[in-house]
Structure 1
Amino acid sequence: MSKSPVQQHSRSAGPTAAEPFSHSRAGDVFQVLRDGQARTRAELAEITGLARSTVAARIEALSAVGLIGPAGEAVSSGGRPPSRFAFHPSSRVILAVDVGATHVLIALTDLGGRVLSELRENIDIAAGPTPVLDAVLELCSTVLAQAGRHERELVGIGIGLPGPVEHSSGRPASPPIMPGWDGFDVPGYVQQRYATDVLVDNDVNIMALGERANFWPEAQDLLFIKVATGIGAGIISGGLLQRGADGTAGDIGHVRVPRGGDVLCRCGNYGCLEAMASGPAVAATLSAAGVPAQTGEEVLELARRGNLAAIQAMRQAGRDIGDVLAASVNLLNPSVIVIGGGLSSAGEYLMAGVREIVYQRSLPLATARLRIVQSMAADHAGVLGAGRMVVDHVLAPASVDRLVAAQPQG
């Protein structure tokens, strides 16, 4: 199977030096309408500087693929009222997939990010890529059917995985909790079933995208911290997601913490944050103290019931996370830190520990306007971000132009 353009480079790219910016393309005219505001042909001509005839042709092309549609009439200044056109987000759909260590959540969204249907299933990422992705593909078909949508309406699939991912190829890169996944061609495998663009990224990165797009759109510098089976960070700086040179930016779970000592981490090093403050680590701490707990979920249940040892363990986990975040705050100066993931549902117990250390050890100027908050997207941050990742790709000017060019000419 030949690779699609997104497999070779899945980032949304704007015009390059070899492809100068031009509003004469349908994709560029569409960007003016992407904000959802209805506009007339005359208004579009004025904004773009194009001739009315050119604008009319672009509107016709965009209408033919369903990206825009009629939106009533403007007030007439004499004669027939001019027609208005607006973005039509329900014309196409996206499959957003959030694969965790022990679960998968799949949502079908429109181009505006509205969730149309969703399914959650337990799944073991350690089972390997083929059985996991086969199960995901079956669930995708079910989600499409539930919403009454056809796969011909599908313009892309976004997938988040719980480990490092080479974003340009969509291949996992030495993921510690995903045996058998290293280098696996996830986009290629999915495209054997769905002939559409497939974008894959680390789950914390897409959580950062989802949380920011839906709840913090004005925040240009945001950290999303996932605390669950593992611990990681999604970094948005200057309004852009930062993946680093090899896609491993934000791997704070393997930063050594002061009280880590000789605690062995699954990465082979000692004293890592993940070995001290992840769900399994906190459960192990409680069990060693005589409070039976096997998983992060059991720790949460104990804390909800008021178990003092569990509450203290959660607060200490927050302090350990705060130790790492204090350095991150001094380095990156975010305006918002969002704490998400399964263990974050412990709410103020974990948050109190994080805030205690961050505000104590970070520079005063760096924390003057800093907000440390619990995720508002909660367990939907991943699918919201996976959907956003695909939307930004498929609605980019070049992608819209390809969609228009593929439309059969009447």
Structure 2
Amino acid sequence: MLMRTSEIFDLLRDGRGRTRSELSRESGLARSSVALHIETLIQVGYVTPVGDAASTGGRPASLFAFNPGARLVIGVDVGATHVIVELADLSGEGIAASRADIDVAEGPEAVLGWVEQAIRGLVGQQDRALEDVVAVGIGLPGPVEHATGMPISPPIMPGWHRFDVAGWLRQRLGCPVLVDNDVNIMALGEQRTAWPDTDDLVLVKIATGIGAGIISGGRLQRGARGTAGDLGHVRVPGSSAPCRCGNEGCLEAVAAGPAIAAKLRALGVEVSGTADVVALAAQGSVDAAQVLRAAGRDIGEVLATVVNLVNPSVIVVAGRLAGAAKELHAGISEVVYRRSLPLATEHLQIAASATKGDAGVRGAVVLAIEHALSPEVLDAELPSRSRSGQPVVMRYTS
């Protein structure tokens, strides 16, 4: 059986040390073939000896394990008014991070210029070379065309339309750059961090807009052009509220942060935006609780359809309005459990985000790792690296 080096590496991704004999049994390869694959992986640093197995008589066999410190990845979370950059190893363990308050409306070159300098600074602080970074994942707060990684007519990102984000950073950093919208990135981060054993999850971000990241069968579902999960522009029955997209009755126009704040102002409550709504809810405002619960019901109307269509095990409520999770959850749960099929909701959990605002950057790290360690990338990289005689940075072995 012909097996690629990446497939042997994949057996070691769980971090458990194995002997050549164990790898031979698990892969079905001859021990001599396993030894060749292991040697290639050791040469490039992705696998390292980690001691000896327990002796059963005679010389103990050597154990080999994944070396996550062999290379680095970068996760970048670009928000409306902030940017977070995290340096991580190949297991996703965060090493260092940098954050800045930057308005995305300043434009791509200003924002990405800061990102580039932050990456260089974080890598240098760890006494590593920029060449050790094998991929960058980045999430943007707007629609992203999946095939190109370009933002398309993002409403809060002037100057970003069809800007080549990946190409701009790749030219300066010399490594692959993966771009996706922030809600997809958040879904990846939440799933890997808080729900690692869940293959079917929907993350709903409720803030200035409303969107969803959908993980089904363990895979992020982006749709044909990357717009899957755009719940904010699904029509809410009975509503005629004008939406910024030009249509009427969109969920965003009814239940997002600005819409909730407007409803409270109509009741005579002084609020300027989403943060004030969350603060009022925390203070026990009856008006805020009632408006938030009604918004939750509207969101639940749309989510009930999602539950019937994709049958998730978990719905995670995230975004700036997640701070008012109690009231939102009450409204969402009321409608979802009433309007969805009983079999679909029998074991359904509706939960608040557990990542405390880090879902975006954690998901961006996951996006980078999945690319860097994919079989296609590894099998293209490993032979060239091993033949080129590039030095292996064994001092970073954990």
Same-fold status (TM-score > 0.5): yes
Partners of 2:303 and 2:346 in 1: CA distance: 15
Is 1:269 the counterpart of 2:237? The answer is: no
Residue in 2 aligned with 1:77? 56
Q: Is the 8 A contact 2:147 2:225 kept in 1?
A: no
Partner-residue secondary structure (3-state), 1:379: coil
Residue in 2 aligned with 1:404? 382
Residue in 1 aligned with 2:201? 222
Residue 87 (structure 1) shift = 0.6
Partner-residue secondary structure (3-state), 2:119: helix
Residue 149 (structure 1) shift = 3.6
Residue 148 (structure 1) shift = 4.4
Partners of 1:229 and 1:314 in 2: CA distance: 14
Most deviating of 43-52 and 99-108:
43-52
Most deviating of 167-176 and 222-231:
167-176
Residue 132 (structure 1) shift = 1.8
Most deviating of 308-317 and 387-396:
308-317
Residue in 2 aligned with 1:14? none
Partner-residue secondary structure (3-state), 1:39: coil
Partners of 2:128 and 2:357 in 1: CA distance: 24
Q: Is the 8 A contact 1:322 1:353 kept in 2?
A: yes
- Picking from 341, 348, 356, the partner of 2:334 is 356
Q: Is the 8 A contact 2:317 2:325 kept in 1?
A: no
Please give the residue correspondences for 1:280-359 in structure 2 after superposition, counting only pairs within 5 Å.
Answer: 280-359=258-337
Question: Which residue identity lines up with residue 221 of structure 2 in the other structure?
Answer: Q
Change in 2 beyond 3 A, CA 1:149/1:281: farther
Partner-residue secondary structure (3-state), 1:234: strand
Residue 240 (structure 1) shift = 1.4
Partners of 2:36 and 2:201 in 1: CA distance: 41
Q: Deviations over 1:245-269 (max 9, x none)?
A: 11100000001113532x2111111
Is 1:91 the counterpart of 2:73? The answer is: no
Q: Is the 8 A contact 2:264 2:287 kept in 1?
A: yes
Question: Which residue identity lines up with residue 379 of structure 2 in the other structure?
Answer: D
Question: Which residue identity lines up with residue 226 of structure 2 in the other structure?
Answer: G
Is 1:50 the counterpart of 2:29? The answer is: yes
CA RMSD of aligned residues (A): 1.7
Q: Where does the alignment leave 5 or more consecutive residues of structure 2 unmatched?
A: 391-398
Partners of 2:289 and 2:129 in 1: CA distance: 48
Q: Is the 8 A contact 1:221 1:239 kept in 2?
A: yes
Partners of 2:270 and 2:86 in 1: CA distance: 35
Partners of 1:344 and 1:286 in 2: CA distance: 18
Runs (4+) off by over 4 Å: none
Residue 147 (structure 1) shift = 4.3
Residue 198 (structure 1) shift = 0.4
Partners of 2:333 and 2:124 in 1: CA distance: 45
Residue in 2 aligned with 1:249? 228
Is 1:388 the counterpart of 2:366? The answer is: yes
Partners of 1:193 and 1:357 in 2: CA distance: 49
Q: Deviations over 1:196-221 (max 9, x none)?
A: 01000111111111111222222222
Q: Is the 8 A contact 2:137 2:177 kept in 1?
A: yes
Partners of 1:166 and 1:285 in 2: CA distance: 34
Change in 2 beyond 3 A, CA 1:290/1:388: same
Most deviating of 352-361 and 138-147:
138-147
Aligned positions, number: 388
Q: Where does the alignment leave 5 or more consecutive residues of structure 1 unmatched?
A: 1-20
Q: Is the 8 A contact 2:75 2:137 kept in 1?
A: yes
Please give the residue correspondences for 1:187-226 in structure 2 after superposition, counting only pairs within 5 Å.
Answer: 187-226=166-205
Question: Which residue identity lines up with residue 389 of structure 2 in the other structure?
Answer: Q
Partners of 1:313 and 1:248 in 2: CA distance: 29
Most deviating of 397-406 and 369-378:
397-406
Q: Deviations over 1:44-73 (max 9, x none)?
A: 122223233322222121112211111111
Residue 358 (structure 1) shift = 0.8
Identity of aligned residues (%): 53
Residue in 2 aligned with 1:11? none
Partners of 1:126 and 1:260 in 2: CA distance: 31
Q: Is the 8 A contact 1:340 1:378 kept in 2?
A: no
Change in 2 beyond 3 A, CA 1:161/1:22: farther
TM-score by length of 1: 0.90
Question: Which residue identity lines up with residue 169 of structure 2 in the other structure?
Answer: V
Change in 2 beyond 3 A, CA 1:310/1:212: same
Please give the residue correspondences for 1:29-68 in structure 2 after superposition, counting only pairs within 5 Å.
Answer: 29-68=8-47
Residue in 1 aligned with 2:84? 105
